[in-house]
Amino acid sequence: MNAYQRMFGCGPFGSALSLGLLFVAMLVARETPQGWLAIPQGVRTVALNLGAAGAFALIVWSTRTLRPADRGNKLCTSGPFRFVRHPLYASFLSWFNFGLAIYIGHVVFFLWALLLHPLWLWAVRKEEAAMAAEFGKSWDEYARRTGCFVPRLGALMGR
């Protein structure tokens, strides 16, 4: 794994994939007026703000727990890494994107937010293989007890 891959992982590729699919979702939404949902503006605004705040908080917590220089060099299992293996990616996949989908209020954006999870699971596979090669059994055990982007119940309960 080179220095660039250690620092950024699949983030640039996954981000480009996410933005490309967001553009496609915008085109589909424009052509399907029946997909707009009657979500009150106040609910939309709260959802977007909670999604952005949750994503920001998770990003800050993640970068304070695992400094960029340590990425790929250290197996971090504390802070948000105690719950998910990729909290930086999860900040967008599990927080911001759903807040944005509610804010926009069209069915296609909910589908976009949901479909990004399996696509990012596919995108992160090389990064996880590199971590498994680097950290061996420690990584395997860590991966068994944590979720990739969403916490596993056992991690939430402290097991």
Cα–Cα distance for residue pair 98/89, rounded to 1 Å:
13
**pLDDT greater than 80 at residue 155:** no
Q: What letter represents residue 22's amino acid?
A: L
pLDDT digits (tens, 9 = 90+) for 25-57: 999 999 999 999 999 999 999 999 999 999 999
- Note the pTM of the prediction, 2 decimals: 0.89
Predicted pLDDT at 159: 61
Split at pLDDT 50, 70, 90, the class of 2 is confident
For 128, the enclosing helix (H) or strand (E) is: helix 125-145
Q: What angle do CA 63, 12, 52 make, to 5 degrees?
A: 55
**pLDDT greater than 70 at residue 101:** yes
Q: Considering only 98-102, 142-146, 154-158, which range has the smallest mean pLDDT?
A: 154-158
Q: What letter represents residue 100's amino acid?
A: L
The DSSP symbol for 34 reads: G
User: What is the overall mean pLDDT for the chain?
Assistant: 93
Domain covering 41-156: architecture = Up-down Bundle (1.20)
Cα–Cα distance for residue pair 151/85, rounded to 1 Å:
9
